Each structure stands twice: as C-alpha cells, then as structure tokens.
Amino acid sequence: MERALCRVSDLADGKSRGLDPLNEGCDTMFVICRGEDVYAYRNACPHVPMAKMAWRKDEYLNADGSLIRCSAHGALFSIATGECIAGACVGAWLTPVNTVIREGYLWLAGDFAPRRQSRPRSGQQDTAAAMDEGRARP
Ligand code: FES
C-alpha cells in the first residue's frame, strides 16, 4: 500500500507528529523528523498492549527531544532504532513503519494493518493486534 501521509515541509525538524493513515479516528503511527531523516513507528508502546504513547497531540519526545518518551510510564526509546533504552520495557522495540519520501511527500510504503481487526478465525494469529501491541514486527 502506498499512501501519502503528509508533506515533508509540514514536518518540523526535531519534532514529532502523529498520523492516522487509515482514518481510524486516532493517531495510529507517528513520525519524527531529524534533518534529512524521517523515523516512523506505530503508536503502540510495547510495555502495555494498546497503550498510546503521546502525552498530548503530536508530542512523543522527551523534554530535550533526544528520545521518544511514552507518556504512560515514561519508557524512553531511541529515535533511530525504536529500542527501549530506559524504563519499564528495556530491550523491547517499537514497531517501525515503512515510509518513503517522494515528490515532497512522505508516503506509507508496504503493509499497514488497521489498529483493530475482526476477531481472527480459530488457529489464526491476529498479526495486526500483535503489531499494535509491539509483540510483532512487520
Ligand atoms: S505503557 Fe509505555 S511505558 Fe508503560
């Protein structure tokens, strides 16, 4: 799936921004712009299933903007890798979202499962829910 997420010029350097690519009514992913690089993750903390991370709209970073900070219990994550380096889930990982910059826009590239899906049939793994909970990687 390729879908335009936003204009690159709308991303402020050193800041984070929540996005709702499937129009689910909440920000299901977020991006952080640092210079020429854009990092994108699902808005789901690996510490607690379904936990959202922003402490208010578009605010996913710690005070000095050097790390991603989960608002629930304060776990800190590397912006570049998504690894939890301090707090309640050290060693766990945020789920990365594949994006690409083209023609001045940030595009969603590859699969992006809805936050909630219908109940899986018997014997099927609910990959989307696992991804939302940080238990699976895309
Ligand atoms: S839910 Fe994120 S640190 Fe606990």
Domain chopping of the chain, boundaries:
2-115+124-130
Per-residue pLDDT tens for 82-94?
999 999 999 999 9
Using the predicted structure, report yes or no on whether residue 129 has a pLDDT greater than 80. no
Domain topology for 2-115+124-130: Rieske Iron-sulfur Protein (2.102.10)
Per-residue confidence (pLDDT) for residue 116, from 0 to 100: 61
Compute the distance from residue 27 Cα to the ligand 1 centre, in Å.
17
The Cα 84–Cα 108 span in angstroms is 24
| Nearest atom (ligand 1) to Cα of 48 | 1
Per-residue confidence (pLDDT) for residue 81, from 0 to 100: 97
Instruction: Encode 76-104: b = buried (16+ Cβ within 10 Å), e = exposed.
Output: bbebeebbbeebbbeebbbbebebeeeee
Q: Is 51 in the pocket of ligand 1 (CB under 6 A)?
A: yes
Provide φ and ψ at 111, rounded to 5°: -70, 145
| Nearest atom (ligand 1) to Cα of 51 | 1
Per-residue confidence (pLDDT) for residue 102, from 0 to 100: 94
Q: At 133, is the pLDDT very low, low, confident or very high (cuts 50, 70, 90)?
A: very low
Q: Is 88 in the pocket of ligand 1 (CB under 6 A)?
A: yes
Kindly report the average pLDDT of the chain as a whole number.
86
Compute the distance from residue 124 Cα to the ligand 1 centre, in Å.
27
Per-residue pLDDT tens for 99-128?
999 999 999 998 888 876 444 444 434 444
